[in-house]
Every structure is written in C-alpha cells, then in structure tokens.
Structure 1
Amino acid sequence: MSWHFVLTDCNPADNLKRGASQSELLDSALWFRGPAILLKNQHDWPESCLPEKTPPDFRKGILVGVSTKVDLPLKRNLVNSCQKMTHTFGFEYKFAHRKRRPGLAVKYVKMGTQMFIRCIQMSKLADDYWRLHSKQQISSSSPLSSLLPFIDSFGLMRVGGRLQNSSLDYNAQHSVILPRQHPVTRAIILDLHRRNLHSGPRALLAHMRLQFWPLGGRKTVSAAASKCFICFRAKPLLSQHIIADLPKDRVNATSTSMVTGLDTCGPFYYKTGVRSKVPGKTYVCVFICFATKAMHLELVQDLST
C-alpha cells in the first residue's frame, strides 16, 4: 500500500477529536463528502511529512541505566516462591547470554540464582560490597567485619573463614552472604525448611550454612521458620492443669518446725584421705518448715536404710 500524509484541515477525523457538536457535523461538508483533495489528480496530493534523511544527532545505540540500589527480586514480586524466583532468573540469565538451547538446564538455574543474589547484595549491602570491590577495608561496626568477606569471580560476596584445607565443597567453605530480614532470605529459609521435612532451627541453620550464610544466624532462621503454616497447624496445644489448693499446714500459723518437709540433694564427692581410694559420695538432707520457710541442713554419708 502507498501511504500519504493528510493535512489537518482535510482530515474528517480531527473534527471528532476536537469535540465537534452535532450541529457542526451537519453543516460540515468535510464530514459528509470527505477532503476535496481526493477529487484532484493524484500528482497534486501533498507529499509525506516524514523526513527522508536521518537527523545528524541520531545515534544507533541503546543506553541502559542500571542503578546498584535496585532490588530486582522485589521489583518482580517473586519473593513468595523460591522455586519460581530461581526459574525466572534462570530464564533471564539464559536470555541475557543468548543461549538458544530449548528448556531450562540446571546450570542456568544455578547461574540465575547467583545473579539475583548478587543484585540483593548490591542493594542491601551496598556500602560493604563496594568497599570490597574497590579493595578497601570494611568498617569495624559492620556486621560483616568478623566474617572476613571477599568477592568471588562472579561478583558474589562470600564468607572468608579458615576452611580452605578442608574436604568441604566450595559453597560450604565460603558460603554466600544473605542480608538480614529480607524477603528473599526468608523464602530461601522456608524452601530449605520444607525440603528438610520441617527441621528445627539448629538443624536448619547447619544445613543452610552449607551454601548460604544468613546474617543474624539462628534468630533469622527461627523468625523465618516460625512463619511455616504446616508447623503451626501441627504444633499441639498443651493442656494446662488447674493447681490444687495449698494444704492446711501451709496456710495456718504454727510453731517453727512443727510441720516440716524433707528432701535430699546430691551427691557430693569427698576424699577419704587414702590416695588410692576413689572419692566417695555424700548427700545433704534438707528440712523445711511449712509455716516459716526456715531451713535446716544435715550431712548424710549414704542413702542406706
């Protein structure tokens, strides 16, 4: 098709755009008969208004501005599902590196996971990240100062430690640092919590540190695991028994040690003076007055009759 430019005065649609009334449309010849230039020869029609040449200041390129403060997982609203988040960034990593193989391989999921964790570190731990990136020492008040962190070849901030000579995996020797109280950190903890059959905070933290190092340690893991609905529903409610009334001797005034309670504590070990003999056991008998709480202690050498 051949496209031509139509002037505003010859365009019937512009009357509706400018809000023409019904009476104006009834009196408009342009609305009923169309533009008069169509009755002329085609050679007399106006030329196209598009420029024939490219402007001199036009550059063939794309400028992309990336801010280090942008938290990509939060922008995509993917923090509720760890699996969905890792698969999404796996496809993004595959698209960014122009991988044409169909499907989603495991290595793409792994590299995509490292990519979005790096974005989190650059946004939530920006000061420490760029200090390490520029070969500077981090502040002593930083929560990372005791971890001896470093940045690996991919750009992830990891724990230093002293386990390089161990037989552990590289991720276990130098775990990836995760910020405290972040939705992605909570999603990763809950995902590992479900995979490990809803284990407790200590076992979950030990398993998590084989790959990740959440700041805050057990408190962060406990706070995230407490949000598990399955564990909350399965937790039994303990029945609270009503305590019985106090006995008569406890609430009425009597003479001291008229009614006493007896208990034995121990054992305590003592030496008999003989070097070759093993230490013996001794006990303490405790007498407690019911009325005044007075206490009397006596030594008991054994528990025989």
Structure 2
Amino acid sequence: MLHCFYVKKEDRDLLRFLWHEDNDLDKEIIEYRMKVHTFGNSPSPAIATYGLRKAADSVKQDYGEDVCEFVHNNFYVDDDAIAAAAFLRTVSQGGDVEVSFVLGKAKPAPTGGHTVPRLELCAAVLATQIKDTVVSSLGINFDKVKMYTDSRIVLVYIFNSTRRFYVFVANRVQRIRNSTEPKQWTYVNTNDNPADEGTRSITTLRMQKCMWLNGPKFLQESPGEINATAKESFPLVNPVSDKDVRPEVTKTSVTDGGNFDVTTLFERHSEWDSFVQGLSYLIHLARSFKKSENPCKGWHKCSKHKKANFKRETELFILLSVQRKHFAKEIECLQSHRKLPKDSSILSLTPVLDSHGLLRVGGRLNKANESQLSTDCNPIIIPKGCYVGLLIVRNCHQKVQHQGRHLTEGVVRSSGYWIIGGKRLIASCIHACVTCRKMRGSLGTQKMADLSVSRITPSAPFSYVGVDVFGPW
C-alpha cells in the first residue's frame, strides 16, 4: 500500500541511501533516492493515512459523504506497531463498576512484510503475555479473565480445532492456547478497542479521556449484558484461500476385503514367540476400543495379553487364518458333511474339525469326547510351504538346543502340530541355522609344508643323516 504514494522530486533528497551501482557488489557505492514511501520508514504510515483520506475527499461527490466519513473514522495505517492493554474491572456490593488501567504495551511490528492478520495475531500473543504478567504479579484470585480482539480472523485461528496451520500461525496460536482457552476470547468492535490507540497518534488534550487509560465503555456495563454479547462462534470461512491454513491431504486406499490375505503380514516376523506376543497385544488393543465390558480402554500398556489363555487364543487365530487360506475347500466339505476332493493333499490324513474349526489329523478316536482328544493323537495340520510352519520349526529347534532332525521333529509332534512335508522343512531349517553350521562344521586340518632340499636331493649315504654306533645300550 505504501508504494502507492510517490515522493515529490524536490523532497527525494530526504529519502536517500547508499548502495552498489546496479545492485552489483563489485561496483562502486552510489547514492540512491526513494521515489515511493517504504515499509519501516517512520512517517510512512502517517503519509499513507493522509493520502487515503485525501483520496476519499476527492470522490465525496461520487460516493456520498457517509462513505467519506467512514474512511476518515475507520481506515488508518498502523502496520508499524502492535499494542495491547490490560484493565481491572471491579464490581462493588452496591453494583458500582470501576475499570482501572493496569498495564499496556506497544512495540514495533515484526519485520518481514507480514500480512495484517499475522500482525493482529502477534498483538493477540502480546495480550496473552500481558495477561500472564498481570495475573502472576498482582496475586489476586480473579473471578474471570476475558480476552478481546477486533480481528475475527484471529478468533477463527484460536477457535479452530479441525485444520492445521503453517509454522508462523501454528506457533503463535499454540502460545495463546497454552495460557488461555478459546472460550475466554471475544470479538470487540474496532471503535471500542483501546489497543488501537496505542498504535495511533493522539493529542495531549485527549490523553486524559482516551480509552487507553480509561478502558472501553462496554466494560462499564452490567455482567449480564457483557456475557450476552460474548456467545459467538468463529468457524473457518473459505480455508482454501487462506495462505496460513495448510491444505487438507486426503489419502484414499481401496482394499478388497474378500481378497486381502492377512497371512502375508505374518512374514514380517522371524520368531514364533515374539510374533504371538505382538499379535496378542494388538488383539487386546483392538478389543479395548470395541467391547464396552472390557476393563481396559483405548491405548494403554498392560500385561493381560501375556497370559497363557490369551496366548493360546492368539495361536488358534493364526492357525485358523493359515488353514482357511490353504484348505478352504476341505473345511467347506467337512462343514457340509461331504467327502473331500480326490486331489486334496490331506486326503490320506482323514482330517476332522474340532470345536474351534481347526483341521486335525483324524484316526479311530473320532467318537471320543473333545476333552479326551490329545494333541499327540490329533495334531493340528499345518500346510506345506507355509511360513507359520517354518516359525514353529525354528521355535521347536531352539527348544531342543539345536539338536538333530529327529529330536526337532519329536518336539513338533509333541507340541500338537502335523506339518505336511515336515521332514524336508526341518532338514532345510537345520541346514540354514547359523548356530548349527558353527557347531557341526568340519574341523580345520593343517596343510603339510614342502619337503626340504636335503630330502629330495640325491647324495651319498649318511650325507645328511648320522648314526650313533658307540652310544650306550
């Protein structure tokens, strides 16, 4: 705005500065003169205000006298300073209201060409700092602390809870909300804002009766009238065009629930125990958000997922997921009491379904009760080439302290698992085991050195060998 007001040629000597010719640091320093008024120059705001009012007077006949008066009374340039003031309002038992000036402060606006909303936000931060100083210094238990600003955009920033801001606005809004609550902030008309007088020029005759020292008139009203005008909301209006509001980034992911394979997530783990413990913790957290009767609520840390029954429940979930992926047809046939397909890989095992829906190896004990069935007689079937089977084999191999294939296979069977192609899987697991390769590696042998020259060179007898024929016998 200041660049719209030119400086007369005869007055440009008052706005001189020294700088390199053609903005080249290698050239000599010459004298420049300003053609327009610039931001930061002390008289620039007053000149801009004067020019604005003169422009309004020149079009009074075209737009009317009321428009001209509105510009004279409400338009001014105060981009070079921000101000805030604190007042103490007391009400006596008789209902008399007294408003006293406590603390006021004005300081230059931050440099950098900030916009007017940003400067108003800096003024709100200044008001918050003054509030903290007054509350901590006076040592009075205040019934209520109210904050006022004549910028609706600042109130929108303070009341916002849905969108994110860029760093400049975000840091200052966070500073304001650390000391105050949004419900403490209220809009005040510019004419009733005493802080504006801290940024304008004022004559000494008006100093005694100015709002900066006496406070606004609305503070003299009854508490009921003040509270009636304070209930107002300030939602974001067209946040897309606001450069201080971050744009919303929407991430959309489409997943076909019918084709999603949860078992692919199992391959991110290398140990069976840690896998079961981690998954049990996730299941416990998921239930804490859904089930109302669960004593655990929301995100938390506890040890309930480490209990044996919860661990066994997680293992059954893993095994059910694996079997439903590889043996979907077999499970469907058994549930509908139909025969298994002839090309089924587990047809020779005569599988049966237990109460959990798991496929187990069948036998001649199908008429026994569920409690009488043991894991040795009816082990759970693990598909061939399944990553869960590899984790189980690794876990059992560690339990036998890296013994051979037969002991590892025995622990797998005693744990209640029947892995299809288990012997080959166990052999490959032991072959890839680093600990086993170290313990079962072949011993190193010393390579014999070359024969000496004396042993390979033809020579007379006893040239290099002597015989003691006189020694004691």
Q: TM-score, normalised by structure 1?
A: 0.54
CA distance, structure 2, for counterparts of residue 227 and residue 76 of structure 1: 20
**In structure 1, how many angstroms separate the alpha carbons of the residues matched to 2:272 and 2:390?**
9
Provide the C-alpha distance between the structure 2 equivalents of 1:185 and 1:70, rounded to a whole number of angstroms.
21
Report the secondary structure of 2:418's partner residue: strand
Q: Deviations over 1:269-299 (max 9, x none)?
A: xxxxxxxxxxxxxxxxxxxxxxxxxxxxxxx
Q: Structure 1's 161 and 78: CA in aligned 2 closer, same or farther, altered over 3 A? A: farther
2:275 to 78, 81, 85: 85
Q: Does the alignment pair 1:194 with 2:194? A: no
Per the alignment, in what secondary structure is the counterpart of residue 170 of structure 1?
A: coil
Please give the alpha-carbon distance, in whole angstroms, between the structure 1 residues aligned to 2:441 and 2:322.
37
Contact 1:118/1:156 (<8 A) preserved: yes
Amino acid at match of 1:179: P
Deviation readout 1:234-253 (Å, 9 max, x if unpaired): 113167999xxxxxxxxxxx
Report the CA distance shift for 1:74/1:228 in structure 2 as closer, same or farther (over 3 A). Answer: same
SS at match of 1:173: coil
CA contact (8 A) 1:79 1:85 kept: yes
* 1:6 to 2:237 alignment: yes
Counterpart secondary structure, 1:188: helix
> Offset at 1:82?
0.7
Gapped regions of structure 1 (runs ≥ 5)? 18-63, 243-305
Q: 2:427 — aligned with what?
A: 222
Structure 1 residues 185, 4: CA separation in 2 closer, same or farther (over 3 Å shift)? same
Q: Which residue of 351, 357, 368 maps to 1:149?
A: 351
Matched, 1:183 2:387: yes
CA distance in 2, matches of 1:8, 1:126: 52
Alignment correspondent of 1:39: none
**1:107 corresponds to which residue?**
309
1:234 aligns with 2:436: no
The 5 Å alignment of 1:1-305 reads 1=159, 2-7=233-238, 11-13=241-243, 66-67=257-258, 70-75=260-265, 77-95=267-285, 97=287, 98=291, 99-100=294-295, 102-103=302-303, 104=305, 105-162=307-364, 170-210=374-414, 211-237=416-442
Separation in 1, partners of 2:246, 2:437:
63
The alpha carbon displacement at 1:84 in A equals 1.3
Aligned residues between the structures: 194
Shift, 1:15, TM fit: 11
Equivalent pair of 1:179/1:214 in contact (CA under 8 Å) = yes
Cα deviation for residue 112 of structure 1 reads 0.2
Q: CA deviation at 1:218?
A: 1.4
Between Structure 1 and Structure 2, whose CA radius of gyration is higher? 2
Residue 146 of structure 1, CA deviation: 0.8
Distance 1:70-1:126 versus aligned 2 partners, 3 A rule? farther
- Change in Cα spacing, 1:136 to 1:88, as seen in structure 2 (3 Å) is farther
CA distance in 2, matches of 1:76, 1:208: 20
The share of aligned pairs that are identical, in percent, is 20
Q: Secondary structure at the match of 1:202?
A: helix
| 1:200 CA drift (Å) | 1.6
CA distance in 1, matches of 2:282, 2:355: 20
Distance 1:153 1:5, change over 3 A: same
1:172-217 deviation digits (Å, cap 9, x = unpaired): 2211111112221111101100011112212221221121000013
1:89–1:112 CA contact under 8 A, matched in 2: yes
| CA 74–144 in structure 1, closer or farther in 2 if over 3 Å, else same | same
Distance 2:245 2:411 in 1: 71
**TM-score under structure 2 length normalisation:** 0.36
Residues 139-148 or 91-100, more deviating: 91-100
Q: Which amino acid aligns with 2:375?
A: N
Deviation at 1:66, TM superposition (A): 4.5
How far off is 1:78 after superposition?
3.5
| Structure 2 unaligned blocks of 5 or more | 1-158, 160-232, 248-254, 297-301, 448-473
Deviation at 1:77, TM superposition (A): 4.3
Structure 1, residues 136-176: CA drift from partner, whole Å, max 9, x if none? 221122220011112212121111123567x9862222111
- The alpha-carbon distance between structure 1 residues 190 and 142, as it changes in their structure 2 partners (threshold 3 A), is same
Pair 1:168–1:229, CA change in 2 (3 A):
farther
Quote how far apart the aligned CAs of 1:91 are.
2.3
Amino acid at match of 1:138: L
Evaluate the alpha carbon distance shift between residue 76 and residue 201 of structure 1 in structure 2; reply closer, same or farther with a 3 A threshold.
Answer: closer
